[in-house]
Amino acid sequence: MPPDPDHFARALVDGMPDAIVYADAAGLIQVWNAGAVRMFGFSQAEALGQTLDIIIPGSLRDRHWHGYQETMRTGHTHYGDGQILAVPAIRKDGTRLSVEFTIVPFTAEDGRMTGIAAIMRDATARFEELRALRKQLAERPAGKAQVAGAAGIG
């Protein structure tokens, strides 16, 4: 017997280790799961009803809101087909992290956008590791990098 769809959806969102955040058409957070609490440090009570600005670095907010409002107005997004996006974010304590996420647009029966859900994963450790490796490669003398590359090393 298949599970009750409502119960299944609630259990999935509540139990997901990744952050699941749903913001309505105005950009106000309406869903904030336990994964989001762990990732960003805001309790559910602190996040619900707030704008997404609580996790968006100040330098990226104008760009984010321009795209968000355009998506709400037109109903079209370039990122709703499962593309994985990578962006910086901020935690409650102000520290930055790198997140990878996919989005799920939500629409009303008339096709009007009602909000967007994002499923986010903390990719900070991998991002920092890649940055360190790129730095090491950039610091190598050109001859050593070519020899190492030709030998299948580094």
Task: State percent of the chain over pLDDT 70.
Answer: 91
Which pLDDT does position 69 carry in this prediction?
Answer: 94
Does CATH place domain 5-122 in 3.30.450.20?
A: yes
- Domain map (residue ranges) of the chain: 5-122, 124-154
Task: State percent of the chain over pLDDT 90.
Answer: 63
Q: What is the pLDDT of residues 16-43, one digit of tens each?
A: 999 999 999 999 999 999 999 999 999 9
Please tell me the pTM assigned to this model.
0.79
Helix, strand, coil: what percent of the chain each, to 5?
Answer: 45, 25, 30
pLDDT > 60? residue 98: yes
What integer is the mean pLDDT of 37-57?
A: 98
What integer is the mean pLDDT of 106-113?
A: 92
What integer is the mean pLDDT of 118-132?
A: 85
Order of strands, edge to edge, in the sheet holding 85-90? Answer: 29-32, 19-24, 113-122, 96-107, 85-90
